[in-house]
């Protein structure tokens, strides 16, 4: 833990050896076992990127207990949903969030014990479970991911999912080859997402490497952190290179030990200039929570086709199709939806097991024996894949997936709103920003009302989901069945944005403590 991150968290800086971490995990494991935790229990973790997250996760996992990582940006209604839907049995959270999470649990009708990590282990809600040895198919974690149907879906991820992810990275080779001894990775990405939890962490464990976790991405101090951590590799999302390139060039730009960056979504116009300036390749890849590393595709071999949104070609163990809206394979280089599965006897090896309590969504995702990704890609003449767009109605802002329907359902509860519709609008730094087109209950809607709605939204949901732009209209584009016409809405947002009809609320969107 670097001094900057440790200072923000109020914990000790420094390195933790594998021996010391194992001792901590074993002590935690025994404490949980003594209190009757076992397979079938779930425990929520709202602990940011602190080392104690790993301690608790591995200790609980040793007993077959699944963890539910909680995004610290979530607020009351979102916490209520996750606690209720996951049926978690306890939660370890930051001290300043204990009262809020406990209230959410009570309001959800599931008054679980909510404690900090430095107290006694509470008895699990719903009682003890018999101890049974965990297997590869045992649920290891439940990660919630945004979809198009409103509420987030809980992805059930098994031990196999996590173990394979680390092993895949260890064995991938090429430009992302990991050294068997002395590898040092730095990541600003959160442990409540699969990238840091299943990829970064498990990769370093698989090779005995060191992982430096930051609280988040700090552009101004990023290269200082990279140098202080002695990082040999790093993970990124598309917004990061863009922000780093906006800084004034410095003679220190190449004063680091980084061999490669691994991530997704770098601006294709900045890809080559970034590599030329900072002296290492940005290796683009594609994956999602549902695929894990069972279906990952990476441009870890040359030629990488820098600047073309290319994320490589599938390895022999991955099968892919590109299909149109009818499910028919597209000809030549025609874009279509990417379908993936594992080659061989088990097409779901390394993928998520299911959506919790949602067999219909699971079956839909795996229709025809292929995982339907919702991403539009094209395949060039060499067999390399290029990202084109997202088919799903999901806004991707700074790496966070935001379901439009979820935001709409919250906004529509505001007394001044008759109906709200959400669509993405391009943002230079964040990829997409949330744009809200609103029919107000009364005439005379103005900036004051827009700001009031913005403040209210920040109290109801994670800051990144709240509208960054608000516009008031008299009508919305609707289908014959009175549903929002998504294509027409995007066109309307683009037109209103060009006309200057939106109120800019982006400065209001700040991460809350």
What torsion, rounded to 10 degrees, do the Cα atoms 15, 19, 24, 27 define?
A: -170
The three-state secondary structure class of 390 is strand
Beta-bridge partner residues of 329: 323
Angle at the Cα of 482 (from 479 to 486), degrees rounded to 5? 45
191 and 162 in contact (C-beta within 8 Å)?
no
d(CA 43, CA 32): 11
pLDDT at 146: 63
pLDDT at 481: 53
Domain 394-508 in the same topology as domain 1-134: no
Please name the helix (run of DSSP H) or strand (run of DSSP E) that holds residue 153, with its range, or none: strand 153-158
pLDDT tens readout for residues 441-482: 999 999 999 999 999 999 999 999 999 999 999 999 986 556
Phi, psi (degrees; rounded to nearest 5) at 134: -80, 145
Phi-psi region at 350: left, alpha or beta (left = phi > 0; alpha = psi -120 to 50): left
d(CA 24, CA 11): 16
User: Helix (H) and strand (E) counts for the chain?
Assistant: 15, 23
pLDDT at 280: 98
C-alpha 276: how far from its chain's center?
29
CATH code for the part of the protein at 394-508: 3.30.300.30
Q: Which positions of the chain have pLDDT values less than 70?
A: 146-150, 392, 479-482, 513
The structure tokens listed for 129 are 């479970």
DSSP 181-205: SS-EEEE-S-TTSHIIIIIIHHHHH
Phi, psi (degrees; rounded to nearest 5) at 479: -85, 180
The structure tokens listed for 145 are 């991911």
Q: Where are the alpha helices (DSSP H) in 183-304?
A: 194, 201-207, 222-229, 239-245, 268-278
pLDDT at 169: 98
d(CA 463, CA 287): 25
Q: What sign does the dihedral 118-3-5-207 (CA atoms) show? A: negative
- CATH architecture, domain 1-134: 3-Layer(aba) Sandwich (3.40)
The structure tokens listed for 309 are 């949104």
pTM: 0.85
pLDDT at 480: 54
The three-state secondary structure class of 43 is strand
The structure tokens listed for 350 are 């390394």
d(CA 205, CA 157): 18
509 and 463 in contact (C-beta within 8 Å)?
yes
d(CA 377, CA 337): 6
d(CA 369, CA 171): 27
The three-state secondary structure class of 156 is strand
Closest residue by Cα to residue 512 from 179, 129, 194, 94: 94
- Burial class of residue 103 in the structure, from the number of CB atoms within 10 Å of its CB (0-12 exposed, 13-18 middle, 19+ buried): middle
CA distances from 131 to 41, 64, 86, 163, 373 (A): 11, 8, 21, 22, 37
Domain ranges of the chain: 1-134, 394-508
- For 463-497, b/e burial (b = at least 16 CB within 10 A) is ebbbbbbbbbbeebbeeeeeebebeebbebbeebe
Phi, psi (degrees; rounded to nearest 5) at 45: -130, 110
Q: On the CB side of 492, how many CA atoms lie within 13 Å of its CA? A: 22
d(CA 98, CA 29): 22
What are the residues whose beta carbons fall under 8 Å from the beta carbon of 300, sequence distance 6 or more?
172, 173, 174, 175, 176, 283, 285, 312
Phi, psi (degrees; rounded to nearest 5) at 423: -150, 160
CA distances from 489 to 435, 437, 447 (A): 10, 9, 21
């Amino acid at each position: 833990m670097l001094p900057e991150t440790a200072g923000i968290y109020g914990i000790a800086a420094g390195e933790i050896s594998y021996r010391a971490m194992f001792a901590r995990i074993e002590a935690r494991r025994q404490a949980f076992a003594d209190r009757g935790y076992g397979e079938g229990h779930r425990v929520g973790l709202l602990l940011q990127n602190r080392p104690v997250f790993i301690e608790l996760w591995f200790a609980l996992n040793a007993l077959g207990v699944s963890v539910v990582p909680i995004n610290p940006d979530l607020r009351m209604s979102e916490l209520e949903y996750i606690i209720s839907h996951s049926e978690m049995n306890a939660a370890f959270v930051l001290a300043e969030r204990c009262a809020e999470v406990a209230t959410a649990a009570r309001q959800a009708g599931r008054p679980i014990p909510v404690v900090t990590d430095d107290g006694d282990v509470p008895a699990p809600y719903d009682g003890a479970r018999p101890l049974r040895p965990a297997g590869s198919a045992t649920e290891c974690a439940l990660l919630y991911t945004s979809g198009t149907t409103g509420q987030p879906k809980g992805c059930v991820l098994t031990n196999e999912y996590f173990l394979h992810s680390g092993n895949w990275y260890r064995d991938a080779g090429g430009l992302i080859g990991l050294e068997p001894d002395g590898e040092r990775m730095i990541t600003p990405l959160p442990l409540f997402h699969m990238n840091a939890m299943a990829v970064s962490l498990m990769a370093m464990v698989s090779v005995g490497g060191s992982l430096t976790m930051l609280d988040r991405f700090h552009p101004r101090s990023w290269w200082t952190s990279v140098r202080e951590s002695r990082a040999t590799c790093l993970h990124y999302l598309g917004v990061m290179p863009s922000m780093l390139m906006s800084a004034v060039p410095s003679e220190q730009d190449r004063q680091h030990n980084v061999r490669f960056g691994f991530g997704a979504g770098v601006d294709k116009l900045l890809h080559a200039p970034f590599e030329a300036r900072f002296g290492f390749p940005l290796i683009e890849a594609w994956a999602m929570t549902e695929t894990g590393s069972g279906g990952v595709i990476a441009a870890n071999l040359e030629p990488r086709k820098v600047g073309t949104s290319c994320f490589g070609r599938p390895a022999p163990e991955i099968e892919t199709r590109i299909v149109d809206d009818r499910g028919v394979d597209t000809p030549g280089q025609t874009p279509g939806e990417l379908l993936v599965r594992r080659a061989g006897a088990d097409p779901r090896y390394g993928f998520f097991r299911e959506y919790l309590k949602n067999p219909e969504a699971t079956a839909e995702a795996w229709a025809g024996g292929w995982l339907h990704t919702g991403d539009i890609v094209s395949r060039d003449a060499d067999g390399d894949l290029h990202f084109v767009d997202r088919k799903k109605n999901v806004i991707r802002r700074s790496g966070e997936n935001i379901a439009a329907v979820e935001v709409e359902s919250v906004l529509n509860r505001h007394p001044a709103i008759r109906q709200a519709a959400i669509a993405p609008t391009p943002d230079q730094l964040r990829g997409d920003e949330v744009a809200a087109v609103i029919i107000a209950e009364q005439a005379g809607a103005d900036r004051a009302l827009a700001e009031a709605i913005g403040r209210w939204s920040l109290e109801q949901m994670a800051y990144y989901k709240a509208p960054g732009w608000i516009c008031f209209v008299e009508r919305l584009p609707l289908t014959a069945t009175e549903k929002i016409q998504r294509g027409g809405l995007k066109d309307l947002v683009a037109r209103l944005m060009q006309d200057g009809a939106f109120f800019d609320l982006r400065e209001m969107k700040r991460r809350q403590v």
